[in-house]
Amino acid sequence: MPDPLHSHPTPTDDAGETAETAALHDELLELALEAARRAGALLRDGRPADLGVAATKSSPIDVVTEMDLASEKLITTFLAERRPDDGFLGEEGASVDGTSGVRWVIDPVDGTVNYLYDLPSWAVSIAAEKDGETVVGVVAAPMRGETFQAVRGRGAFKNGARIRHRPAPLLSQALVGTGFGYLTERRAAQAEVVRTLLPQVRDIRRGGSAAIDLCDAACGRLDAYYERGLNPWDLAAGVLIAEEAGLRTGGRPGRAASGELTVTASPALFGQLQPLLDELGAWHD
């Protein structure tokens, strides 16, 4: 069975790119795939049996492990050796402005609590921005044997096969993914939103990795996904993959997906879910 982390499909259309832009996007995609493959292998094969918390961030339950740090170092070192003029933004502290117009946005372990507890739903998320726009996204989930990828304008792929979202159901028949923050007040507000939303949909799922949830929506395992409090590294790659799979993404009405609120669904369902979430106050604590 081929290793999905080695999957390198070549899209059949050029998305209207110039030859120079297409070559850059190809290079960024290949580097993101290889960096994600290496980091995924490190995390999968190198996880110590006695893995513990190395540090906490916003609250005592917002954790970092030694493997988060090792994964980010591996990714940034690999990319910097090949593209030394690029910038970086990483969850565990990588921050470099760069001079090339390209910035890498990296979550070395999206779903750290899942990883800490040896649950399989964690991923490596790597996005490349050019002049502030996300142009490449890769989300590798080694324990699921899956790698998702997208280049802007070329479609989205899972293990080399093109993916599309599910047809839009009625809101009452929608399976909706979400996630919760780490601050007590935010969690209480998010629980209130779920309490009101749950009777109006088929069901709600909480997987623990925003990047995987966005990709699961992209390939039809969820009808929709929303969450407040995501960081750029949580959403950059997954949002591009969702959009390239035909989903609509956004935040509050008229706004882009952001830490305030991220919503993704097929266009018809998005038109029902986004205003409901706005009315329920899913965008504030």
| Contact call for residues 85 and 96 (beta carbons, < 8 A) | no
Q: Which amino acid is at 167?
A: P
Task: Check pLDDT > 80 for residue 3.
Answer: no
Q: Helix (H) and strand (E) counts for the chain?
A: 7, 15
Nearest to 198 by CA among 138, 115, 111, 282: 282
pLDDT in tens, 13-54: 446 799 999 999 999 999 999 999 999 999 999 999 999 898
Conformational region of residue 118, where left means phi above 0, alpha means psi within -120 to 50, and beta covers everything else: left
| pTM for the whole structure | 0.93
pLDDT in tens, 135-169: 999 999 999 999 999 999 999 999 999 999 999 99
Sequence spans of domains, the chain: 4-163, 171-280
Topology annotation, domain 4-163: Fructose-1,6-Bisphosphatase; Chain A, domain 1 (3.30.540)
* Strands of the 161-163 sheet, one edge to the other: 95-96, 87-90, 102-110, 123-130, 133-141, 146-151, 156-158, 161-163
Q: What percent of the chain has pLDDT over 90?
A: 88
d(CA 137, CA 124): 11
d(CA 40, CA 69): 13
How much is the pLDDT for 83?
98
d(CA 114, CA 121): 6
State the pLDDT confidence band at 57, using cuts at 50, 70 and 90: confident
| Contact call for residues 174 and 264 (beta carbons, < 8 A) | no
pLDDT in tens, 169-222: 999 999 999 999 999 999 999 999 999 999 999 999 999 999 999 999 999 999
The DSSP result for 48-108, as a single string, is -TT--EEEESSSTTSEEEHHHHHHHHHHHHHHHHH-TT-EEEETTS-EE--SSSEEEEEEE
Q: Which two tokens stand for residue 209?
A: 């990795």
d(CA 21, CA 128): 13
Architecture per CATH, 171-280: 3-Layer(aba) Sandwich (3.40)
d(CA 40, CA 46): 10
